[in-house]
A and B are shown apart, each in its own frame.
Chain A
Amino acid sequence: MPSPIDLPELDGLLARGAQLVEALPEEEYEEGHLPGAVSLPLKHLTRERASALDRQRPVVVYCWDSL
């Protein structure tokens, strides 16, 4: 299971070179996303789309919130 993290932990991972993935629809990504994040909407999260990520680096996924 992926580990849930909070903001301080996210900061630490970003300092280690983690990749940010926004799982929201692309239009919401276009309006605003975390710096450097890539858009990988859950509905389109295929092996092909995920191949753009670096498997050697940590991946942090986010959406709007926990609700």
Chain B
Amino acid sequence: MSARAACRLETLGFAEVYDYVAGKVDWLVHERPVEGSRAGEPTVGVFARDDVVTCAPTDRAGDVRERVAGSPYPFALIISRGRVLLGRAPMSALEARPDAAIEEVMDPGPSTVRPHKTAEGVASDLKQKELRWAIVTTPEGELIGVATRTELEAAVSEPG
């Protein structure tokens, strides 16, 4: 949309027009300030923790299982070298095929949210879908962390 608007401004005679392609999401990801009626509302990115087990797609499921057993979450997230989220492997899958490469047992399309979404909105979505966690990624798919519904709901219910 911004590309079309920028082109339109050029056709209207503006000589120096730029397209900030990554847009408002990128601005918010970098925790820059915003103005407006919802400015200052807590976003899910603030609550994203980096204590989830991550691994490479070629790691052995049994090895990852050991790490997941000692983590706060019953799953591991599979990421690329550039931290792009490739999949999610629940403990049940790790236990079922411990000798498999984790890419063979992972769910390659886990749902994710972007960090600028409000904590209130994400908490509501998680509740509606009966989920306990949200995986937070950048628009480019890089893993930021995991936010728990419990924490999001607590933040929303706090006065002020």
Asked if residues B4 and A42 are in contact (CB atoms below 8 Å), the reply is yes
Of B16, B21, B37, the residue contacting A4 (CB under 8 A) is: B21
Complex Cα–Cα for A18 and B39 (A): 22
Cβ contacts A46-65/B at 8 Å (1 or 0 each):
01001001010111111111
Shortest C-beta distance, A50 to chain B (Å), equals 5
Asked if residues B18 and A3 are in contact (CB atoms below 8 Å), the reply is yes
Cβ contacts A18-50/B at 8 Å (1 or 0 each):
100111100001111111110010100101001
Any B CB within 8 A of the CB of A15 = no
Interface size on B, residues (CB 8 A): 36
Asked if residues B17 and A66 are in contact (CB atoms below 8 Å), the reply is no
Complex Cα–Cα for A58 and B17 (A): 6
Complex Cα–Cα for A63 and B3 (A): 9
Asked if residues A50 and B12 are in contact (CB atoms below 8 Å), the reply is yes
Cβ contacts B127-147/A at 8 Å (1 or 0 each):
000000000000100000000
Interface size on A, residues (CB 8 A): 42
Asked if residues A5 and B8 are in contact (CB atoms below 8 Å), the reply is no
Any A CB within 8 A of the CB of B36 = yes
Chain A residues with CB under 8 A of B24: 22, 24, 32-34, 62-65
Among B27-35, B76-84, B105-113, the stretch that binds chain A is: B27-35
Shortest C-beta distance, A27 to chain B (Å), equals 10
Shortest C-beta distance, A37 to chain B (Å), equals 8
Asked if residues B12 and A47 are in contact (CB atoms below 8 Å), the reply is yes
Asked if residues A61 and B17 are in contact (CB atoms below 8 Å), the reply is yes
Write the residues of chain B forming the contact surface with A, with a CB cutoff of 8 angstroms: 1-10, 12-27, 30, 32-39, 139
